[in-house]
Amino acid sequence: MSALAVTGLAVAGAPDVPDTAQATDAVHLADAATDHTCRTDGSAPGSERRSPEGHDGELTPEQAADHQAQLEEALGTDRGRQIAPPQSVPVVVHVVSAEDGEGDVGRERVEQQIQVLNDAYRGVYASGEEATDTGFGFELTEVTRHSDDAWFHEFSSNRDTIRAELHQGGPETLNIYTADLGSGVLGFSTFPQDVESSPEQDGVVVSYDTLPGGSRENFDLGHTTTHEVGHWLGLFHTFQNGCESPGDYVDDTPYEREAANGCPVGRDTCTGRPGEDPVNNFMNYTDDACMTHFTPGQAERMVQHWAGFREPRV
């Protein structure tokens, strides 16, 4: 297996923004800590990914361009400095369960989830050129447990309160919350751009049954967390902006018109663009077993977001 480790990236200047993005007025999210909700259970191919508020949770082209502008501004202070992923990202997992014990995932499954994260971000699930080692590693530092029926069954309605009470650490600490998110939502995440305005809301939320060994069919290997942590580190979906430039702002992920369900290997929804759809990419909507890798470009983008928004300042 060959792997590409992304370390020691030199930031000579802010990354270029395609002309289409530069010409678009920046539109800030209505709520700075608006969660990016994604991935249903895939029971209906092409089914919509609905957030708890009833909108689809996707970023508009204007919102994505605004995120890019914020990244450029954040990296402006890092010109000429060598940047690299952290040796280890501290992780705090908050297990929210029902009072009858439903959802009280054990320590072993939590540790298995952290192992899945480490394997995914080191390129273990792919081979050859696709086996990209992003350089990111994750270390479980604490597991907290909270038994509350309202919090467990209605997490989305109480999420601001829950996260404000339970959140630990600074921008460099990954807070993961597990609960019952209902049948249509697998997880949601904040972006690095949100952390300054709403630090107590920063983190990733996943349905408890998506952890390794869970009961969510096709989504029981732990890659819902892999996917949401990708957002937490700044990545868009591979199908961001569809077939239109600048896509997901990553040069080595082929354009994709819409999310993929199942594992439609060989699908090509942007025939005027090079490459088949990146259905095996962790930032798609395919089944866990279909997901295998990030690209070097995605690894670089995650490092840029870490340097711009999450790296502790000395």
pLDDT in tens, 176-206: 999 999 988 999 999 999 999 999 999 999 9
At 184 the pLDDT is 87
CATH of 62-253+288-310, one of 3.30.70.270, 1.10.1670.40, 1.20.120.420, 3.40.390.10: 3.40.390.10
Quote the pLDDT of residue 77.
62
Identify the three-state secondary structure at position 156. helix
pLDDT of amino acid 25: 23
Distance CA 264, CA 140 (A): 34
The DSSP secondary structure of 1-50, one letter per residue, reads ---EE---EEE-SPPP--HHHHTSPP---SSTT--EEE----SSTT----
Instruction: Point out the residues that are catalytic.
Output: 228
CA gap 17, 281 in Å, rounded:
23
Q: On the CB side of 236, how many CA atoms lie within 13 Å of its CA?
A: 26
Segment 242-261 mean pLDDT: 97
Question: pLDDT digit string (tens) for 22-32?
Answer: 222 222 222 33
Of residues 267, 264, 5, the one with CA closest to residue 131: 5
Q: What is the pTM of this model?
A: 0.85
Cα distance from N-terminal residue to C-terminal residue, the chain: 37
